[in-house]
């Protein structure tokens, strides 16, 4: 390790010393060298209670960051552009094409060195077109064709003699090659084509590298956001939530179950704190943290309890930072990317077969040409023949390059990267790319209630306290309740809590830190003029049992003078069931008799039915710290508070949109079933005919019974994480694509099991976030609906590009093969095919893969699990457009030789500003090439809509990428044709020819409209309905089930004493079937079978 720098005036310790301390994990060194925790805190100029002084917040703790470093981790340097550029050349077809181009250049240079002017015959070997000239009918008599061929042959021989004589005597001007043979023309350097091919390959590699470079930068920035977690710290005596990147040495970090340790540190105090250090040490068991084992490692998870630690090392000096240096940022392919890669490989194989057939046809024609020349005793120019063979190879390899749709994986990558970035703006942080595409196929959303459907803005509005019921809190509480009773009530709120109300370091506005339910109680204590911070600071805390999803309550034992008090709060029916006494307003303690319990249950029922969350507070006194084996028994009931959590105003509309999209929304909550039903009904989840039941009721059903009740199950209340996991597994077993929300540590299994796990960014624990695929940054259900839209958009964008590209593949391969087979050679040469390939892959992928989502995406049913990439409707459009394009191509090639639009006269050829370099055939092939490209450009507009929508221009102005790419492609094509010349073997077209090319391309638009006129209806498509089938009752009994869920026998008498039996012989649970049915207050209140927890208590499931 490098020598430590000289100590600064502000801090006497160096970061290297602190690293050595953490690395040694020696309590003796901590005590002997640093004076224990107190001495270490003094050297770090911080307080074990209050943290760093508040005066440091003005400059953002700049001195600490300068001296000890920042809490950022080193990243592997991104792959350089040049490396990505050279990696693009590793593709086999590109290598072969490059080698062939180099050979072509070599042959051309050899000709130049030998002083030979290239006058090679056109390598097309046009068995048909050699017998026709520009403007002449194709269909001549056999005698005329033979006679004309003999005349031309004689003229060629005579002109060659004259030309050789002129050259030998150095007199006159050599006769232009294009006058000796209509199919000969002077190419100033046959190596030009090879150079252009190499240049085109370089452009393709440049674009590919640019896309990869941009993609990597985008994913790095998204990872920075993904790894930025919120941490609770103590600074200047107040608790704050700060970014993990803002953690500094000397901070006091407050940790709870589910949190990730943000930096290395030393345990100060806590209750039952246990850490999973398997990621760092490989130790599978949770490690308890205590005075004898206080060292905490960054990157590890808190699995139990709560506590505080002092930060000693941050960033690259921490253990996690050391490991981060060695980590790779490689990204696994998503299933959609893998499917497309497989599809691209299969299409490539088909392209290879066509290329092989084309090459075979060209070699056969070449052999026929050689045989004919030999039969006529013509001199064979082998340099030209070699050039021809190289040209064949270039054409064949280029066909393979065009056929291999590298753009398919590129399209999904661009679409995913674009969508992920946009989803972040919609408060969806995508942690796993697979979630983007999977979310589009979601058929079920199992949503939490608190914070997701509601605002998580808790306020105590009603309550029962010490024998008095209050419809408005706090109103006259102080006048009605004895001060001693009120002290117990407020002490229970202050001490039995981990939440706090702080102030933002910058804005100084109030900031709720921790459970919003607990914050509501803290606000109540402040309204009653109590200082909860002072009470909490003065309390002698002995033991704290944090909330868990199984216990549904939280308890704390404190010493008050010579007595010991246990404070408990939790689910109303659960805590009330543990009480056998109550206290009245005068402070008198009496028995909690049946009539009082019934009265309290009625209050709970009424508050829950009006949508309030109910919370019971109780306490128990003892003469010693030992409360026995069951400390939470025989408690004294203090009060029951009704807490309002308003419904998010945008949720009902979002739920309705999900219904239109064919998605079933289910509420899965830990709240009382009456509260859950009220909120679910308000937001449109719980409807007439729907089923609401509790977790314990659902849990005991057999799989067959679950399968029968699931189609109508809309609310699952008082559920545990286990119930949520069972629900998700069963839905997936039935073939549903399930998205589930969760925020607690114990929600991790369900989040992992779901097709898309969605954790809460505000209320979620780090364990839940790590297990999830998407983090909902604002905990808002409407953000989930936006995620569905983006997921469907990704799938549609890939399909758009697929439809567009397959059309090009079919047409390009068919034209190349048929033309070669009929002796027309290849109308599209290597450079032109590479340009088309560039349009297909990089540019079209950028244009079509960035289409933003539209509202109509939620007007059809989800795709589901087994939806093919290419739908029957897509095949219809692909084949229809391919037929149109092939008819146009073959018409120009074989049927338009005597139409002036498609040919160039000899006069125009000789007076062209580009010189007499092109033949009639060059002009014709330029028309073929230009028409082909414009057919694709207009079909690119058709491809924007893949579900038979008539308005293909809808929203086109909202996609600047599309418009920019479209305009750039059109402009580059015009430059390519008009100024390409020898390099790309194009002839500049007249204005009327340009109009004809564009006009033929435009035909694709009305042709696509005609195809859309034929009706097509996907199963369940258009205005998807979510009306569910009537289900068979889950009970094996002869009677009917009333809307209230009670079993009614066939004789009409209620058979409440003989509950129906399930398939396994156990007593069937009560099920609320109709949304307008109600339960009697006695059910679910005070009964062990339905007493589960409240939301948002520390360390547990908020729903």
Residues in CB range of 379: below 8 A, 6 or more apart:
none
pLDDT (tens digit per residue) in 374-397: 887 877 777 777 777 777 776 777
Give the whole-angstrom CA distance, residue 750 versus residue 754.
6
Two structure tokens written together for 571:
């689910």
Q: What is the average per-residue pLDDT within 497-526?
A: 79
Two structure tokens written together for 703:
């799989």
Q: Identify the pLDDT of residue 78.
A: 72
Give the whole-angstrom CA distance, residue 126 versus residue 130.
5
Q: What is the average per-residue pLDDT within 823-829?
A: 68
Maximum mean pLDDT: which of 547-561, 566-580, 793-807, 951-965: 566-580
Q: Bigger pLDDT: 952 or 400?
A: 952
DSSP string computed for 533-555: HHHHHH-EEEEEE---TTT-EEE
Q: Bigger pLDDT: 906 or 1047?
A: 906
Q: 585: pLDDT confidence band, cut at 50, 70 and 90? A: confident
Which has the closest alpha carbon to 840: 917, 935, 750, 753? 935
Q: What are the backbone dihedrals phi and psi of residue 828, each rounded to the nearest 5 degrees, phi first?
A: -100, 115
Two structure tokens written together for 43:
């050297």
DSSP string computed for 430-442: ESSTHHHHHHTT-
Asked if residues 940 and 950 have their Cβ atoms less than 8 Å apart, the reply is no
Which has the closest alpha carbon to 520: 574, 455, 471, 588? 455
Q: Identify the pLDDT of residue 903.
A: 54
Two structure tokens written together for 173:
């001007």
Measured in whole angstroms, the distance separating CA 844 from the mean position of its chain's CA atoms is: 22
Residue 127: is its pLDDT beyond 60? no
Q: 887: pLDDT confidence band, cut at 50, 70 and 90? A: very high
DSSP string computed for 805-841: HHHHHHHHHHHHHHHHHTT---SS-HHHHHHHHHIII
Least confident of 162-176, 585-599, 612-626, 817-831: 162-176
Helix H, strand E, coil C: the string for 672-731 is CHHHHHHHHHHHCCCCCCCEEEEHHHHHCCCHHHHHHHHHHEEEEECCCHHHHHHHHHHH
Residue 970: is its pLDDT beyond 80? yes
Beta strand 756-760 pairing with 738-742: parallel
Q: Measure Cα distances from 89 to 86, 370, 691 in Å.
A: 5, 36, 60
Maximum mean pLDDT: which of 52-61, 161-170, 990-999, 1011-1020: 990-999
User: How many other C-beta atoms are found inside a 10 Å radius of the C-beta of residue 10?
Assistant: 10
Q: Identify the pLDDT of residue 859.
A: 85
Residues in CB range of 556: below 8 A, 6 or more apart:
495, 496, 541, 543, 544, 545, 566, 567
Report the percentage of the chain scoring pLDDT > 90: 18
Q: Identify the pLDDT of residue 938.
A: 93
**Helix or strand or coil: residue 240?**
strand
> What predicted TM-score, i.e. pTM, was given to this entire model?
0.67
Report the percentage of the chain scoring pLDDT > 70: 72
pLDDT (tens digit per residue) in 627-639: 888 899 999 999 9
What is the average pLDDT value for the chain, to the nearest integer? 76
Q: Which residues pair with 253 in a beta bridge?
A: 233, 309
Residues in CB range of 221: below 8 A, 6 or more apart:
none
CA angle, 286 then 290 then 296, to 5°: 65
Give the whole-angstrom CA distance, residue 426 versus residue 416.
15
Residue 1061: is its pLDDT beyond 50? no
Q: What is the average per-residue pLDDT within 548-568?
A: 88
Q: Bigger pLDDT: 657 or 1063?
A: 657
pLDDT (tens digit per residue) in 303-346: 888 889 999 999 888 877 766 655 444 445 556 666 766 777 77
Query: What stretch of H or E contains 457?
Result: none
User: How many other C-beta atoms are found inside a 10 Å radius of the C-beta of residue 1019?
Assistant: 6
Q: What is the average per-residue pLDDT within 932-961?
A: 88
Asked if residues 297 and 319 have their Cβ atoms less than 8 Å apart, the reply is yes
First and final CA of the chain: distance in angstroms?
49
Q: What is the dihedral of CA 744, 750, 752, 755, to 10 degrees?
A: -130
Q: Identify the pLDDT of residue 824.
A: 61
Q: 730: pLDDT confidence band, cut at 50, 70 and 90? A: very high
Which has the closest alpha carbon to 48: 311, 294, 299, 304? 311
pLDDT (tens digit per residue) in 263-297: 899 999 888 888 888 767 666 677 888 888 899 88
Q: Bigger pLDDT: 826 or 129?
A: 826
Asked if residues 251 and 311 have their Cβ atoms less than 8 Å apart, the reply is yes
Query: What stretch of H or E contains 74?
Result: none
Asked if residues 915 and 937 have their Cβ atoms less than 8 Å apart, the reply is no
Q: Give the number of residues written for the chain.
A: 1103
Q: What is the average per-residue pLDDT within 123-141?
A: 40
Q: Which residues pair with 1066 in a beta bridge?
A: none
Q: What is the dihedral of CA 222, 226, 227, 230, to 10 degrees?
A: 130
Helix H, strand E, coil C: the string for 262-315 is CCEEEEEEEEEEEEECHHHHCCCCCEECECCECEECCCCEEEEEEEEEEEEECH
Measured in whole angstroms, the distance separating CA 1067 from the mean position of its chain's CA atoms is: 44
pLDDT (tens digit per residue) in 185-213: 334 444 566 676 677 677 767 766 776 77
Two structure tokens written together for 391:
């040209």
Asked if residues 468 and 614 have their Cβ atoms less than 8 Å apart, the reply is no
Residue 427: is its pLDDT beyond 80? yes
Q: What is the DSSP letter of 565?
A: E
Q: What is the average per-residue pLDDT within 211-237?
A: 73
**Residues assigned a catalytic role:** 448
Residue 106: is its pLDDT beyond 60? yes
Give the whole-angstrom CA distance, residue 849 versus residue 1003.
24
Give the whole-angstrom CA distance, residue 498 versus residue 554.
10
Q: Identify the pLDDT of residue 557.
A: 93
CA angle, 629 then 635 then 638, to 5°: 150
Least confident of 186-195, 571-580, 904-913, 942-951: 904-913
Q: What is the average per-residue pLDDT within 854-867?
A: 81
Least confident of 221-225, 487-491, 813-817, 977-981: 221-225
């Amino acid at each position: 390790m490098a020598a430590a720098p000289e100590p600064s005036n502000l801090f006497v310790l160096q970061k290297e010393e602190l690293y050595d301390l953490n690395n040694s994990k020696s309590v003796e060194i901590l005590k002997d060298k640093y004076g224990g925790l107190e001495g270490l805190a003094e050297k770090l100029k911080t307080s074990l209670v209050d943290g760093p002084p508040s005066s440091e917040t003005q400059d953002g703790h700049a001195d600490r960051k300068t001296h000890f470093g920042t809490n950022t981790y080193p990243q592997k340097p991104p792959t350089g552009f040049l490396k990505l550029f050279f990696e693009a050349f590793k593709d086999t077809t590109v290598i072969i094409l490059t080698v062939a181009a180099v050979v072509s250049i070599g042959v051309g240079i050899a000709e130049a060195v030998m002083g030979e002017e290239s006058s090679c015959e056109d390598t097309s070997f046009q068995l048909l077109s050699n017998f026709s000239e520009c403007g002449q009918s194709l269909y001549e008599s056999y005698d005329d064709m033979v006679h004309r061929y003999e005349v031309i042959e004689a003229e060629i021989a005579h002109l060659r003699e004259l030309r050789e004589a002129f050259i030998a005597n150095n007199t006159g001007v050599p006769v232009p090659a294009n006058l000796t043979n209509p199919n000969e023309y002077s190419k100033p350097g046959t190596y030009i084509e090879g150079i252009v091919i190499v240049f085109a390959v370089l452009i393709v590699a440049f674009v590919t590298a640019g896309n990869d470079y941009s993609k990597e930068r985008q994913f790095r920035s998204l990872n920075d956001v993904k790894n930025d977690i919120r941490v609770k710290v103590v600074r200047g005596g107040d608790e704050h939530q700060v970014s993990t990147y803002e953690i500094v040495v000397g901070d006091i970090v407050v940790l709870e179950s589910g949190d990730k340790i943000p930096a290395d540190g030393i345990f100060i105090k806590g209750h039952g704190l246990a850490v999973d250090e398997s990621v760092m040490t490989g130790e599978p068991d949770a490690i308890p943290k205590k005075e004898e084992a206080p060292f905490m490692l960054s990157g590890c998870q808190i699995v139990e309890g709560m506590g505080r630690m002092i930060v000693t090392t941050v960033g690259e000096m921490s253990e996690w930072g050391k490991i981060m240096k060695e980590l790779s940022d490689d990204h696994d392919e998503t299933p959609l990317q893998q499917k497309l890669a497989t599809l691209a490989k299969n299409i490539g194989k088909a392209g290879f077969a066509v290329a092989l057939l084309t090459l075979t046809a060209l070699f056969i024609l070449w052999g026929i040409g050689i045989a004919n020349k030999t039969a006529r005793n013509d001199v064979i120019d082998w340099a030209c023949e070699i050039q021809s063979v190289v040209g064949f190879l270039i054409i064949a390899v280029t066909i393979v390059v065009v056929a291999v749709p590298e753009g398919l994986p590129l399209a999904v990558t661009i679409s995913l990267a674009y969508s992920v970035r946009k989803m972040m703006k919609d408060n969806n942080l995508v942690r796993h790319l697979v979630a983007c595409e999977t979310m589009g196929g979601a058929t079920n959303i199992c949503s939490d209630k608190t914070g997701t459907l509601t605002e998580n803005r808790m306020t105590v509005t009603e309550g029962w306290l010490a024998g008095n019921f209050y419809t408005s809190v706090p109103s006259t509480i102080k006048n009605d309740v004895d001060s001693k009773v009120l002290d117990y009530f407020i002490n229970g709120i202050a001490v039995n809590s981990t939440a706090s109300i702080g102030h933002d370091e910058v804005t100084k506005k109030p900031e709720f830190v921790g459970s919003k339910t607990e914050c509501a109680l803290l606000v109540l204590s402040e309204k009653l003029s109590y200082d909860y911070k002072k009470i909490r600071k003065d309390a002698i805390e002995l033991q704290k049992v944090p909330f868990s999803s199984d216990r549904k309550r939280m308890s704390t034992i404190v010493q008050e003078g010579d007595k010991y008090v246990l404070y408990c709060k939790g689910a109303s029916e659960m805590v009330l069931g543990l009480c056998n006494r109550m206290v009245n307003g005068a402070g008198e303690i009496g028995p909690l008799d049946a009539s009082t319990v019934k009265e309290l249950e009625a209050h709970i029922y009424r508050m829950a039915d009006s949508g309030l969350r109910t919370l019971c507070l109780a306490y128990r006194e003892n003469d010693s710290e030992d409360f026995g084996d069951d400390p939470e028994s025989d408690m004294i009931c203090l009060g029951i508070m009704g807490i309002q959590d308003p419904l998010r105003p945008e949720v009902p509309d979002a739920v309705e949109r999900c219904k239109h999209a064919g998605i079933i929304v289910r509420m899965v909550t830990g709240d009382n079933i009456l509260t859950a039903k009220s909120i679910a009904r308000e937001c449109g989840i719980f409807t007439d005919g729907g089923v609401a039941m509790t977790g314990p009721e659902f849990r005991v059903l057999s799989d067959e019974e679950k399968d029968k009740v699931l189609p109508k199950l809309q609310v699952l209340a008082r559920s545990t994480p286990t119930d949520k996991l069972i629900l998700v597994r069963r839905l997936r077993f039935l073939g549903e694509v399930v998205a589930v929300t969760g925020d607690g540590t114990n929600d991790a299994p369900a989040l992992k099991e779901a097709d898309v796990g969605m954790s809460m960014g505000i209320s979620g624990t780090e364990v839940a976030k790590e297990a999830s695929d998407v983090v909902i940054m604002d905990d808002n259900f409407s953000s989930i609906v936006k995620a569905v839209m983006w997921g469907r958009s990704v799938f549609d964008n890939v399909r758009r590009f697929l439809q567009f590209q397959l059309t090009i593949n079919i047409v390009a391969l068919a034209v190349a093969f048929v033309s070669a087979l009929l002796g027309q050679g290849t109308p599209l040469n290597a450079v032109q095919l590479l340009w088309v390939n560039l349009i297909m892959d990089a540019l079209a992928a950028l244009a079509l893969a960035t289409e933003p989502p539209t509202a109509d995406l939620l007007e059809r049913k989800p795709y589901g699990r087994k939806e093919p990439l290419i739908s029957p409707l897509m095949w219809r459009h692909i084949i229809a457009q391919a037929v149109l394009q092939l008819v146009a191509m073959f018409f120009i090639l074989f049927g338009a030789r005597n139409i002036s639009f498609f040919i160039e006269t000899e006069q125009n050829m000789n007076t062209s500003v580009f010189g007499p370099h092109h033949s009639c055939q060059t002009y014709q092939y330029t028309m073929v090439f230009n028409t082909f490209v414009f057919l694709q450009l207009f079909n690119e507009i058709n491809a924007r809509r893949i579900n038979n929508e008539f308005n293909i221009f809808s929203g086109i102005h909202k996609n600047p990428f599309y418009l920019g790419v479209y305009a750039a492609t059109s402009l580059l094509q015009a430059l390519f044709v008009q100024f390409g010349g020898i390099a790309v073997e194009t002839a500049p077209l007249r204005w009327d020819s340009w109009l004809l090319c564009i006009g033929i391309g435009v035909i694709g638009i009305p042709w696509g409209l005609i195809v859309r006129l034929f009706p097509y209806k996907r199963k369940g498509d258009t205005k998807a309905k979510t009306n569910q089938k009537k289900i068979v009752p889950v009970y094996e009994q002869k009677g009917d089930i009333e809307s209230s869920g009670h079993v009614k026998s066939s004789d009409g008498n209620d058979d409440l004493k003989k509950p129906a039996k399930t398939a396994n012989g156990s007593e069937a649970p009560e099920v609320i079937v109709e949304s307008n049915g109600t339960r009697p207050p006695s059910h679910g209140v005070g009964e062990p079978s339905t007493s589960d927890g409240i939301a948002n208590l520390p360390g547990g499931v908020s729903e």
